[in-house]
Structure 1
Amino acid sequence: MLLGNDISEEFALEVRKNVELIYGIPNVSSAYISKTKIAGMYNLEYETKQLDFVRDTARTNHHQCSITFDSGNAGQAAVVSQSGAIEMDGILDYRYEPTSGNTRKVVLKSTQAKGTEKRYVEIWNSHQLERCLDVTDIHGKFYTDETFGSLEWSHSGKYIVYMAEPKEFDAAKPIYKLGSDEEPSVDNKGKDKEKVKEKPKAGMADQRKYEFNEDYGETFTGKRPPVMVLVDIYKNEVRQVEGELAKMRGVQPGQPRWVKRNIGNEEEKEFVIFTGYKVEPRHIGLVYCTNRPSDLYICDVEGCNVKCVTKSDYNARSPRPVIGKASEIVYLSTKIGGPHANINKLMHLDLDSLEITEIVPEVHTPSQEQTESFPSNFPGLYFNQLPRDPWMEMGSGNKLLFCSSIWYSNNVLLAIDICKKKVFTLSECINNQGSTSFLTVCDDGTLVVSISTPNQVPDIYFGTVSVNNNGNSVCVKEWIPLGLLSHTETAKMLKESVEHSIVKFPENTKNLEVILTKPKSKNDLSRHFHTDDLPPLAIYPHGGPHATCISGLSAIPTILTMLGFAVAQVNYTGSLGFGQDAVNELIGKIGELEVDETVYVAKDLAENKKLVSKEKWVYNGGSHSGFMGAHIAGKYPGLFKAIVLRNPVINLGEMISKTDIPDWCFNEIGLEFDYDMIDAASTLLTPENYKKMWESSPQRFYANVTDPVLLNIGAGDRRVPPEQGYQYHRLLKANKKCHTECRVYPNVGHPLDTVEAIRDSVVGFVLFYYRFLS
């Protein structure tokens, strides 16, 4: 990070302090609630994640507290006691056994000793370690992500299933270590071919070590595709699930869960149900993409009797056994292909009859009228995976599933009655804006959520589910804040310094909204940028393009607002949460429709609504919004005083051979992509395909760019190859019409989310803005 002559050390230090302050705000990542023996008292465990700018690492902390909560007494809640935060050092996941009364749990643990990683599966009973199983030599690293990961007890408590890397194959041995017994004997009769294959000649490496077996791209760089692992508690053993499952080709298991099925006249038998991603002929990128080909499969504990139980033009993922019905599941289903993120359907599957029922369908255009099944303006379901434990059973026998879903520019809490196929929204009593994230629910209807707004740090709230009118009405009358995370000076400062609103543009389109944050007043912090009557404008659209800016706390917009900017987080046509027709509207129009809408927002806020300066505008975009920013720089030269592009898409055609999602380059401009890679016209960069991609690419306009451009590039980005930004920087430098800088951050991927990259890139672009706005 370079300081210009006009930037003081004092100002740079002030910016850095505030960047580290905002990025250091803890976020609640998970929670677990249970009743105690004392009426009205609950035990709450929760985890927070935050960045540590001293140790340069992300930290996960475990917290535990006792809460008294009386929903009938004006909604009073009080924290009776709480433990100090305990860092989850080496603990990657843990899970309580459902039948143990919340006393027995399994823990996945990874430790480092003398530079060597060791992995363990621990079984705890209350506060006592019951057993510790060393699994270092059984498999590689644990998978605990939401795409593949899982950690689940079977209903009987006999088994545990999880996902992990397979064991690494043996490397070659030095010649001097070879003895006569190292030479494998060849079975001339061919009876022992497998053993001969597994024991290579002359001490060479296992031949499978160098077989092409690609990873799954962004966030999975260098990780071997996972395998399913079974812990047999009774036998005290851990093994990879093999059988038919291990021999399957073209299907990658993930997200295993336990179910039961009736087999003939026998008693119910335990099976594993899992998501099977179609991964042939290539391992295409999975993270952030809900349109991937996948089905649900079941198998027994030996990996045998494998059966596909879903099959359609829509995928199937995220299976969740229905509460009290282990032979039934619900799952998410999304149309395969097309936009990388789409609306979800919620489906129900009876594993005995294999009958599939649709619970919540796609919503193409939200209705302003309330229907028998949906509240007014319900846009459909928009989230990547179902919550881990989403269930509550009502007294009537009906079952409620809770989830958080994007609803226009907000994130709302939904309750779905899977028996009546009805959707209820539970967020309107909190505020008209904000992000409500479901955490956990107790069997008595006590809900725990995390709520934030653009000027409110995430905090934990309690509420009680009220079911009235024979289950036709489900609501939470009041949400009670616990104040576990919000009683800080940072939280107070945000409340006092930031105001926010959602701005709509009905004269343009109903699919365009902006989350507008502004400084409440001029102060010592905002004085550097907010020098006139109206604040300067920072345009900050989301990437994707099929994603959404949510009206919760977001670090970069918050930092810029505190420093004096009015920040417009733009949800353009194509954003999630506005109905599927809005998503489809952008297909074939990228680089035009969303770019024109974003420019319209800037001009309208300044010239018509008179909320921001007419002259002092800056732009900040990453990934697809970096693509948009490069378009704006080339099509509207002189419009912005400074432009920051983070891992931007610059040339679609040049991306295809290196990105982990080549289908994106086809689908977003309206071309079909063949996942089977049979049809050349829908797989390869033919001259016709390149022509259309070139016409949508901002590289076409690089010679027009006159505004200062700063590029922030993650050297390990698998989604948008770093070469996209490098080449754009070279072209701008060669053209000599604008000031351009390029910063490259090692060991970080698409989100630029390491502490090192965040510190330097965010402080760097704030100072970059200052140089060109002053």
Structure 2
Amino acid sequence: MPAPQVEKIVEIYRALAKFPSPTSARILNKNNQSQFSVVSSWTQRNLEYGKMTKFQVFHHVDVCTKKSSSALPTDSSNVLSFSVSPTEENSAVLRELPDNSNSTKKQQFLEVWEKTHLLKNYDLGALDVHGDVYSDAELGSFEWSPCEEKLLYVAEKKYPKSEPFYKPKSQEKKNNGNEDSKVTKGNEYLFRQDWGEQLLGKCESVIGICNLKTDIISILDGIPENFVPGQVIWTPDGNGVVGVVWNVVPRKLGLIFCTNRESYIFHLTVNGDFSLLSAKGKAVRSPRFSPNGEKLVWLERDAGGPHHSAHRLMCLSWATKESRIVVDTVSKEIQIQGGESFYGLFNLSLPKRCWTANSNGIVLSTPQKYAVNSFLVNLDTNSVTALKIDEGSLTALDVWNDVVICSNSSFNKPPVLLLGKLQNILKNIDKEESASVNWFQISESRPNFILKEIAYHYLTIVDKEEQNTSCNTFSAMYIGPNTSPRPGDLPLIVLPHGGPHSSNCNMFLMNIALFNLLGFGVLLINYRGSIGAGQDNVNFLLGNIGVTDVKDVRLATKEVLEKFPVHSADKVLLYGGSHGGFLVTHLSGQFPTDYKAVVAINPVIDVAAMFYISDIPDWSCVEANVPYNITGNIPIEAFEKMKKCSPLNFCSPSSPPTLLLIGKKDARVPGSQGMDFYYSLKANHVKTKLLLYDDNHSLSQVPVEMDELINAILWFFEHL
């Protein structure tokens, strides 16, 4: 297979980078049943700026004719958060701009807009009530009060100013005694632990309230010292807030991608009265009030254990404060309305607006084996009904007045926005037969002729040696050219996902499309331990990393080579990051002659060492199936077990050529893991190369992503 010129690779990358992805949508003009507007937010790679460009689009929708039109996009790259008031008379914007007096700093402004003009603008830095306002999905909030006179958000706590024990002062300050009495000495280097990977600098959150009538910003007090708050929303009467508090004593553990942290749904009144609404020993997220204010739902799982696993959907009566389980964790699978299979809830959040008009149902989206699927849950009957789509993943973004806006994409179809009315589903909610939603597209899409060359196939792989029949199968997906090359002509990239408790889903992924358009077939494996296939599937991997997951990748590769003769066993390549990097380095070490080349992105190489250097030390214990002790007092036998399952054991002179892509700011799998492996490969005289990026675990900065992808492709072509 001849290698294309670098210019050709860049040309295809640039073409794919022009496909934007939706991040949110909101239905407006909600009182009109047939015609309304939708405002959607999108992100797109901007290669010239070297960062993601954000923009908003307004869509006018006619439900009766199923037609829509879109206005020109408006850039919103400096907007961190955006919120529309309940009456839609006002909107609020949290904007971040460069600090004119200091090029290394940013300024945050809180803007309030009426329909015709900017009403208010608060310079949050100048007001100096708190630190930066959070806009991330794990902790952040940005909510209008029911009365539309206040804005609610989460921000970093303001810390006392500090200076050295000795600091020369100006003569004027000495003579006039104008020294700042609030400045403390000797605390400049005081350590404050943050939330780890991609949440660096977020140490202690506070609840901020901006009163638009008095122009006073205040901190809502009353959170006990052992808790920090996030994900806050107003109570229906506006006299308090509900949110999530995490227990941070004795320490914080990394939060992003980790739904297992001990946490509680809490209620805090404006008078400072604090109470917990959820049970002890749980991990919770995404509280959402019903439109009538009578119900509060959230996602919940047991605290501890795998970094991500199945959740329950909980519902609390706001009047009685009694909670119940609506959807329980699913061990393997259950049958839902219409005889569909359902594997449990593995979603990280609920849509901000997820309720049906009668306050008896919610819409949510969750990974289910091959794709992200959406469902309607009836809170009266606890029934679950699938919202079907022809292909790909369907992710709910907004629900209002029984109209739902979803994002839909697949491996060969970039994201579009679909609108559907829930009436047919709601009419049949208590019947055995299923009903369908008549979807229609409301966003305009770019021509995607090049993606028509891509086809995909779902695979179910059986481990015939496994005696446990409840966990002897797993899923995989093959994505390849929609043509018929000569047998054995195309190379195959084997790509296991990270986590390990995450999954590959059928949605538009630029790196997969790039590989395909350059002539590679791609195999994605949801090995046992992946989410979206029941909780038993997640638990099956614990204590078996480096064994079961490695075996599953081998089984899936064997099946693809048999089913798709365009590939041959002498052109198999490995590509994976994080736990996927753990797997590709395992595979290349244990079976070096089976693979032509390896690309490992921030790989886990030494599980025992990870206990001391990662922001999630409990991960090493859980995956090795040994008890985690937050004091660090771990038996030597536990470390031996961690060492035994590590890929570092299999580094040898016969290992295939290996490219390592490492982020210097990675707090999840610190760069020392990949560097240690690099030195081991060099010592064994294995051809290797390491690229070190000024980025975190995801390597998602636009210039970094482009560089690592193109370097990976060139590495593969060089060694075929």
Given the two structures, how large is their TM-score scaled by the length of structure 2?
A: 0.93
The residue identity in structure 1 corresponding to 2:108 is R
CA distance in 1, matches of 2:507, 2:564: 24
Partners of 1:627 and 1:690 in 2: how far apart? Answer: 17
Correspondences of 1:265-664 after superposition (within 5 Å): 270-302=239-271, 304-325=272-293, 327-367=294-334, 370=335, 375-394=339-358, 399-427=360-388, 430-431=389-390, 433-443=391-401, 445-465=402-422, 466=424, 467-469=426-428, 471-472=430-431, 475-485=435-445, 487-488=446-447, 491-495=448-452, 497-506=453-462, 508=464, 511-521=473-483, 534-607=489-562, 610=565, 612-664=567-619
Aligned to 1:105: 91
Specify the code of the residue in structure 1 equivalent to 2:169: Y
Deviations 1:319-358 (A, max 9, x none): 1112212x53111101111111010100012244221111
1:148 aligns with 2:139: yes
Q: What is the rounded CA distance, in whole Å, between the counterparts of 1:236 and 1:142 in structure 2?
A: 17
Letter in 2 for 1:89: S
1:758 maps onto 2:705 in alignment: yes
Give yes or no for contact 2:355–2:362 (8 Å, CA) kept in 1.
Answer: yes
Report the Cα offset of residue 37 of structure 1.
7.5
> Per-residue deviation at 1:167?
3.0
Instruction: Give, as a single letter, the amino acid of the residue that structure 1 aligns with 2:216.
Output: E
| Residue identity matched to 2:207 | M
| TM-superposition CA deviations, 1:146-203 (whole Å, max 9, x none) | 110001122222322101122354242852324256588xxxxxxxxxx97x443xxx
Aligned match of 1:720: 669
Aligned to 2:235: 259
**CA distance change for structure 1 residues 37 and 620 in 2, over 3 Å: closer, same or farther?**
same
**Distance 1:561-1:447 versus aligned 2 partners, 3 A rule:** same
What are the equivalent positions in structure 2 for 1:674-713 lying under 5 Å apart?
674=629, 677-678=630-631, 683-703=632-652, 705-713=654-662
> 1:41 aligned to 2:35?
yes
Could you list the per-position Cα deviations for residues 492-543 of structure 1 after superposition, in whole angstroms to 9, with x for gaps in the alignment? 2102x10111111246465411111111127xxxxxxx77554221101110
Cα deviation for residue 38 of structure 1 reads 6.7
1:129 aligns with 2:118: yes
Q: CA deviation at 1:259?
A: 1.2
Distance 1:39 1:306, change over 3 A: closer
* CA distance, structure 2, for counterparts of residue 515 and residue 389 of structure 1: 32
CA distance in 2, matches of 1:684, 1:761: 39
Q: Do the aligned residues in 2 keep the contact of 1:607 with 1:614 (CA within 8 Å)?
A: no
CA change 1:669–1:85 in 2 (3 A) is same
8 A Cα contact 1:375 1:425, kept in partner: no
Separation in 2, partners of 1:607, 1:314:
45
Q: 1:740 aligns with which of 688, 691, 699?
A: 688
**Alignment correspondent of 2:696:** 749
Per-residue Cα deviation, 1:113-157 (whole angstroms, up to 9, x for no partner): 422532221111113212122211222222111110001122222
Q: CA deviation at 1:625?
A: 0.9
Structure 1 unaligned segments of length 5 or more: list them.
1-5, 71-75, 185-194, 261-267, 523-529
d(CA) in 1 for partners of 2:595, 2:106: 49
Q: 1:622 to 1:235 in 2, by over 3 A?
A: same
Instruction: Assess if the C-alpha contact under 8 Å between 2:96 and 2:106 holds in 1.
Output: yes
State the secondary structure of the residue aligned to 1:616. Answer: strand
Q: How far apart in 2 are the matches of 1:483 and 1:138?
A: 41
Note the aligned Cα RMSD (angstroms).
2.3
**Which segment drifts farther, 150-159 or 404-413?**
150-159
TM-superposed deviation, 1:686: 3.7
Measure the CA separation in 1 of the matches of 2:505 and 2:400. Answer: 27
Matching of residue 225 in structure 1 with residue 225 in structure 2? no
Quote the offset at 1:469 in angstroms. Answer: 4.3
Alignment CA distance shift 1:331-1:705 (3 Å): farther
1:555 maps to a residue whose letter is M
Structure 1 residue 441: Cα displacement: 2.2
Partner secondary structure for residue 412 of structure 1: strand
Seen in structure 2, the aligned counterparts of structure 1 residues 655 and 182 have a Cα distance that, compared at 3 Å, is farther
Shift of 1:7: 8.9
Contact 1:605 1:611 in 2 (8 A): no
Quick check: 1:375–1:424 contact (8 Å CA) kept in 2? no
Rounded to whole Å, the distance in 2 between the matches of 1:183 and 1:37 is: 59
> One-letter code of the match for 1:14?
K
CA deviation map 1:471-493 (0-9, x unaligned): 547743322123512x32xx121
Partner SS state of residue 540, structure 1: strand
Matched, 1:77 2:66: yes
* More deviation, 600-609/156-165: 600-609
State which of 250, 275, 286 in structure 1 corresponds to 2:226.
Answer: 250
Percent same amino acid among aligned pairs?
25
Q: 1:335–1:342: 8 Å Cα contact kept in structure 2?
A: no
* Alignment deviations for residues 342-383 of structure 1 (CA, whole Å, 9 cap, x no partner): 10100012244221111100100113xx35x79532101111
**Normalising by the residue count of structure 1, what TM-score does the alignment of the two structures yield?**
0.87
Task: Return the alpha-carbon distance in structure 2 between the equivalents of residues 37 and 576 of structure 1.
Answer: 39
**Partners of 2:98 and 2:443 in 1: how far apart?**
36
Do the aligned partners of 2:354 and 2:400 also contact (CA within 8 Å) in 1?
no
CA distances 1:370-413 after superposition (whole Å, capped 9, x unpaired): 35x7953210111111111111124xxx5221111111111111
Quickly say closer, same or farther: Cα 1:227–1:470, change in 2 above 3 A. closer
8 Å CA contact retained: 2:461, 2:555: no
The aligned amino acid for 1:763 is I
Letter in 2 for 1:502: Y
What do residues 38-71 of structure 1 show as CA deviations (whole Å, max 9, x unaligned)? 762221110110111111011110111212222x
Aligned-partner Cα distance in 2 for 1:751–1:43: 35
What SS does the corresponding residue of 1:143 show, helix, strand or coil? Answer: coil
The residue that corresponds to 1:265 in the other structure is none
2:80 to 77, 89, 92: 92
Gaps of at least 5 residues in structure 2 are: 465-470
Evaluate the alpha carbon distance shift between residue 127 and residue 632 of structure 1 in structure 2; reply closer, same or farther with a 3 A threshold.
same
SS in 2 for 1:657: helix
Residue 103 to residue 630, structure 1, CA distance change in 2 (3 Å): same
CA distance in 2, matches of 1:328, 1:235: 31
Indicate whether 1:175 and 2:143 are aligned. no
1:683-713 CA distances to partner (integer Å, 9 max, x unpaired)? 3354222111111111111125421111000
DSSP 3-state at the match of 1:391: coil
- Code of the residue aligned with 2:366 in structure 1: it is S
CA displacement, residues 646-701 of structure 1 (integer Å, 9 cap, x when unaligned): 00000011112210000000001111223xx35xxxx3354222111111111111
Aligned length: 702
Partner SS, residue 139 of structure 1: coil
CA displacement, residues 728-757 of structure 1 (integer Å, 9 cap, x when unaligned):
000110111x211111111x1001101121
Please give the secondary structure, in 1, of the residue aligned with 2:479.
strand
What is the SS of the residue equivalent to 1:668?
helix
Q: Which one-letter code corresponds to 2:52 in the other structure? A: A
For residues 541 and 166 of structure 1, what CA distance do their matches in structure 2 show?
40
Distance 1:374 1:579, change over 3 A: farther
